[in-house]
Structure 1
Amino acid sequence: MKKMKKVIFSILSIVVVLVILVFSLRIYNDYKCKDTNALKSPEYYKDVTNISLYPTDIDGVDVTYVDEGRMQGFRFVPKEKSHKGLVICFGGSEGSPNFETAKRLAEEGYETFALFMFGMKNQEQTLRKIPLEQFEDVIDYINKNIKDNKPISVLGASKGAEYALNLASKYSEIDNLILIAPSSYNFAGLDFKDYGSSWTYKGKELPYIDIKKSSFSSFLKNIIVPTIIKSPISYKETYKSAIEQDSSSQEKLIPVKNVKANILMIAGEDDLMWDSFAMAKKIKDQNPKAKIYSYKGAGHIFAGNGVLNLGKIRIATGGTTESNDKAESESRKTIDAFLKENHK
């Protein structure tokens, strides 16, 4: 009986110590990370699908919302268009249409679009099983409504870069690609209630890396434990582990060998969301003409000090404030030079 009491007391003591430790670490991380935020979000990030939150009164640019079947998003027409063709922008897994980039480029004289991949009328409501064919509605709209419609450049960030690269593998109408924090693989969608590939084509899901099959130790170390103690979650090792665990990962690579579009890739070498720098090199292995501009010390998002504060959780995006600011400035110049060269 005494031994049993000792065992129970020991177990309770360990539990109490662990509870105190977790509680202390949560307080410490709240203090340490209280001023961290890698992204100062515009107003519309409160609800990216709320069209009324987007500012459409822009000096020198006419902004309209395009509602054409599965084509949903904003069209920016400069009052003085100074570059040929069009630039089509897509955001990432947050569901935004990359409005700020399209706006900036329109102010520089490009006719641009900021388009939604999902979440809007006639589209999939979550990031899963998105049909690549919805881009055909974009092509139809362009052909019917815009005379000066060549060349076409597509710019995508993060998950939007994965989408854009897939589009270029199917649609030769795309002349140029700008991939920011790119993926070389098709990954699973982010709807875990209706799990499957992020993308479909001709009614079939594209083969995908199953992120649920990453190693448990990686998942525990980088996601579960940080969630408990409120430290930043890093998804990089989860994605990397899922690739390594997949014996048929080569079949999940986006087929870019025969993509005719000029490809520019932008990647932070300290990306903690996924290893965009390694995947950019994987894309270049398939398509040697593709260009990579990488930035040391920069993360997934070229803003802030590498931590994205979402209230209940914190996400490690990577990089330092100084390196991210430098990468933002330098990459913008690189993108501008690429567009000017290809939209003469």
Structure 2
Amino acid sequence: MDITEHELADPWEGLLVAPAHGSDVGVLVLAGSSGRIERERARILAQQGVTALAIRWFGGPGQSPGICEVPLETFTTAVDVLQREGSRRIGILGVSKGAEAALLTAVHDPRVDIVVALSPTSRVWCNVGPSRDGAHHPYRSSWTWQGRPLPFVPMDDSWTSPEPDSGPVAIRGWYELSERTFAHLLPPAEIPVEAARADLLLIAGGDDAMWPSLPFAEQLAQRRRSAGATVRLIARDDAGHRPRLPGESPASASPHFQYGGTPEADALLGKAAWPQILDAITDGSPPALTS
């Protein structure tokens, strides 16, 4: 399918990729804590007939240098852009911290029709990196809405890695310890997905070494089901934090973190999820061309 691309510089850096004849389905594509613009993923989605908008949501000009008190309006503004492009069905596809943002945006913006959350969390966590003032500590919320920080769970800094200092670290245990230490802060920090109008598709690996995304996904699914809301969960016990969709390049190794899984298992999870992702985004119907 022929596609067109437009580089964006305002109100944030990004890439808008669309079928040459437009589409009535639009998807906001969010990376996790890498901070990158998910160009490849956006292009793959556009090849399927949807308009895809990938943005840099922190670390760019005028933005917080870290994931610290990032305004959720960053993402509702992206919904505005997709609507101006002719999208009548709006989705958000995010991974890790991007999935956290996607879920929260759907809670606060009823225009979102579907969230695809890869390796999600079920609650709001503290900042990853510094805020605009350059400070990492004391811990603050990752997000704000209408200028107010959302309730969050901090990290327990007494945690130490059981692994040697010389190699990449699995930090899942740090999140699990922090849940136990700050159990009294979990309820207000839960993401109330039961209040979102959007449908929800969750994709998670049981061998995630960054945080326990499969238990998180199961918590989100249970919350939705208890409220009688729609939810789908696709999982593989041997996959890690970075599922790879068909056509995507293999994920590069990190010198700092272990992500769990294997390239084969991560690709198999992405392959299993891909038809469900397309079905969820398009609501089971081929996207309509708009011009």
Q: TM-score range by the shorter chain?
A: 0.7 to 0.9
**What is the TM-score normalised by the length of structure 2?**
0.85
Structure 1's 251 and 341: CA in aligned 2 closer, same or farther, altered over 3 A?
same
Residue aligning to 1:91? 31
Partner of 1:31: none
Tell me how far apart the structure 2 counterparts of residues 135 and 343 of structure 1 sit (CA, whole Å): 25
Cα shift readout 1:83-118 (whole Å, capped 9, x = no counterpart)? 532111010001012221111011121111111211
Q: Hey, what does 2:62 align to over in structure 1?
A: 122
Equivalent residues of 2:76, 2:105 under 8 A apart: no
1:343 deviation in Å? Answer: 5.2
1:329 is the counterpart of 2:267: no
Q: Counterpart of 1:221 in 2: which secondary structure? A: coil
1:7-38 alpha-carbon deviations (Å, 9 max, x no partner): xxxxxxxxxxxxxxxxxxxxxxxxxxxxxxxx
With over 3 angstroms needed to count, the CA separation of the structure-2 counterparts of 1:103 and 1:308, relative to structure 1, is: closer
Q: Work out the CA distance in 1 between the residues paired with 2:231 and 2:180.
A: 24
Q: 1:173 to 1:272 in 2, by over 3 A?
A: same
Aligned-residue RMSD, C-alpha: 2.2
| Partners of 2:129 and 2:136 within 8 A in 1 | yes
Larger Rg: 1 or 2? 1
In 2, are the aligned partners of 1:307 and 1:318 still within 8 Å (CA)? no
Judge conservation of contact 1:85–1:343 (CA < 8 Å) in 2.
Answer: no
Supply the distance in 2 between the matched residues of 1:177 and 1:307 (Cα, whole angstroms). 22
TM-score by length of 1: 0.73
**Whole-Å Cα distance in 1 between the matches of residues 172 and 200 of structure 2?**
24
- Aligned pair 1:210/2:147, yes or no? no
Q: Secondary structure at the match of 1:89?
A: strand
**2:239 is the alignment partner of 1:298:** yes
Match for residue 157 of structure 1 among 69, 75, 95: 95
CA contact (8 A) 1:302 1:325 kept: yes
Partner Cα distance (1:325, 1:164) in 2 = 22
Question: 1:1-344, aligned counterparts within 5 Å?
Answer: 60-69=2-11, 71-81=12-22, 84-143=24-83, 145-146=84-85, 148-191=86-129, 193-195=135-137, 196-211=140-155, 213=156, 216=158, 219-222=159-162, 225-226=163-164, 228=165, 230-246=166-182, 247-288=184-225, 289-302=230-243, 309-311=253-255, 313=256, 315-342=257-284, 344=286
Aligned length: 270
3-state DSSP of counterpart to 1:187: coil
Instruction: Tell me the amino acid that sits aligned with residue 68 of structure 1.
Output: D
User: How much has 1:279 moved relative to structure 2?
Assistant: 0.4
State the secondary structure of the residue aligned to 2:115.
strand
- Structure 1 stretches of 5 or more lacking a match? 1-58
Unaligned residue ranges in structure 2 (runs of 5+): 245-249, 287-291
- Contact 1:61–1:107 under 8 Å retained in 2: yes
- Structure 1 residues 61 and 120, CA gap change in structure 2 (3 angstroms): same
Change (3 A) 1:337 1:149: closer
- Cross-structure match for 1:53: none
Partners of 2:99 and 2:7 in 1: CA distance: 23
Deviation larger for 251-260 or 114-123: 114-123
For the residue of structure 2 that corresponds to 1:87, the secondary structure is strand
For 2:8 and 2:285, how far apart are their aligned partners in 1? 23
Conserved 8 A contact 1:151-1:343: no
8 Å CA contact 1:197–1:205 kept in 2: the answer is: yes
Aligned to 1:108, what secondary structure does the other structure show? coil
